[in-house]
């Protein structure tokens, strides 16, 4: 009844059509006005009642091009009929690919949103572990779709062979009609690596537009060629924004999109990719996710040539080491201890470490300076040493470092 209400269908044959016939007729009408709802219902119907629908004596009411009357053929027909609508209607969709025609429709749909290709087999245990994580991430993010591809489906054998799928599960990203470089993941990644992978994908669509916009007003490209974005300038600009005080969520999201765009662009160089991963790690730290930042830092380090060093990467690694050694826990926990006993310098030390881990540099420096004010010699001058460590991590050119060096001198010597 809900399908018919949504579809707005009423007719003299409503009393003579079977339930399955009414359902199919309603779905066909609904597809024109509510394609996403129709696609969802179609998948649900065939997961529960494909034999009933396929055996309906009233399929002819659908008119020319009605599906065949066997269960398997009918389900395949409806899946194909709704495949493009499922992609176009919204993001966070889980799409079943059953033929090369289905895959071709994905290539077109990927021009508006990324699609993760999930290659699996029913007998594959790790596939069953990864699949629900992937589906949940897509539905939560709403920034990409997931396409399921059974490697044992005969109709898809040419695709599997062309992409050289030899291990399961295998993931790769289809965006703007092509497979994204460095997007292939084989096996089940741990939670940190998986989160980093999702973060990279989430920024692809917006970063593409941002990267294209960077070319405007730049050096003229040869006729018929797109100007190459200035990746170094893009990365430096957004790293600078992340280094400031009071960085908003919007700034972090914008930076993540820009870094993801650099990683996905075919014209980016190795050094650009390393710095972009460092940038994504900085975004993760701003969001309080040190585990994802560590995974990205390791990935960036793995991309470096022998004896190749990047200052931003080394600074990131030092910051992550500092956070790991600090073991202060959350800001709320440390703040609660300080509130309960303002004289607890250990709690104040933990608070400074936790604040710095969340990218709240000024507050971290204030907390560390307060330790020195209360007791310069506490724990072998731990307050002063913490400040010096924070100065090193922030860099000598940081405005905060200049300000707080002067404040430390005032406390120590005046």
Residues tagged active-site = 124, 127
DSSP output for 129-160: HHHHHHHHHHHHH-S-EEEEEETT-GGGHHHH
Supply the DSSP string of 81-131, one letter for each residue.
Answer: HHHHHHHHH-SS-EEEE-SHHHHHHHHHHTTTS-EEEEEE-TT-HHHHHHH
Measure the CA–CA gap between 230 and 232, rounded to whole angstroms: 6
Cα→Cα distances 322→70, 315, 325, 386, 387, Å:
64, 11, 5, 10, 12
Tell me how far apart the alpha carbons of residues 128 and 301 are, in angstroms, rounded to a whole number. 31
DSSP state of 8: T
d(CA 175, CA 168): 21
Structure tokens at 132: 């629900």
> Number of C-alpha atoms within 13 angstroms, CB side, residue 350?
18
């Amino acid at each position: 009844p809900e399908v018919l209400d949504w579809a707005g269908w009423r007719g003299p044959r409503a009393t003579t059509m079977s339930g399955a016939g009414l359902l199919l007729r309603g779905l066909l009408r609904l597809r024109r006005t509510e394609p996403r709802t129709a696609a969802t219902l179609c998948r649900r119907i065939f997961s529960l009642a494909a034999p009933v629908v396929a055996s309906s004596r009233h399929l002819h009411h659908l008119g020319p091009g009605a599906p065949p009357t066997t269960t398997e053929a009918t389900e395949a027909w409806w899946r194909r009929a709704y495949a493009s609508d499922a992609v176009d209607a919204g993001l966070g969709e889980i799409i079943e690919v059953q033929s090369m025609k289905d895959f071709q429709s994905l290539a077109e749909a990927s021009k508006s949103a990324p699609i993760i290709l999930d290659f699996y087999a029913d007998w594959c245990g790790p596939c069953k572990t990864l699949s629900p994580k992937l589906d949940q991430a897509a539905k939560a993010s709403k920034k990409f779709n997931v396409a399921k591809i059974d490697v044992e489906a005969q109709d898809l054998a040419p695709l599997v062979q062309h992409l050289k799928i030899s291990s399961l599960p295998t993931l790769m990203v289809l965006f703007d009609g092509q497979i994204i470089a460095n997007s292939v993941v084989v096996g089940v990644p741990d939670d940190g690596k998986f989160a980093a992978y999702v973060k990279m994908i989430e920024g692809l669509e917006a970063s593409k537009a941002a990267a294209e916009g960077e070319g405007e007003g730049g050096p003229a490209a040869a006729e018929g060629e797109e100007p190459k974005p200035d990746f170094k300038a893009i990365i430096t600009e957004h790293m600078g924004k992340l280094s400031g005080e009071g960085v908003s969520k919007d700034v972090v999201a914008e930076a993540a999109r820009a870094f993801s765009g650099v990683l996905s662009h075919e014209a980016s160089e190795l050094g650009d990719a390393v710095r972009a991963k460092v940038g994504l790690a900085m975004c993760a730290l701003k969001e309080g996710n040190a585990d994802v930042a560590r995974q990205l830092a390791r990935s960036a380090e793995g991309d470096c040539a022998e004896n190749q060093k990047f200052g931003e990467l080394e600074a990131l690694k030092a910051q992550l080491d500092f956070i790991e050694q600090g073991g202060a826990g959350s800001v709320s926990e440390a703040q609660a201890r300080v509130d309960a006993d303002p004289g607890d310098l250990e709690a104040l030390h933990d608070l400074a470490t936790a604040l710095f881990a969340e990218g709240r540099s000024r507050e971290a420096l204030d907390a560390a300076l307060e330790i020195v004010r209360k007791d310069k010699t506490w724990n072998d001058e731990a307050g002063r040493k913490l400040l010096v460590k924070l100065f090193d991590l922030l860099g000598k050119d940081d405005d905060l470092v200049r300000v707080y060096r002067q404040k430390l001198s005032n406390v120590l010597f005046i």
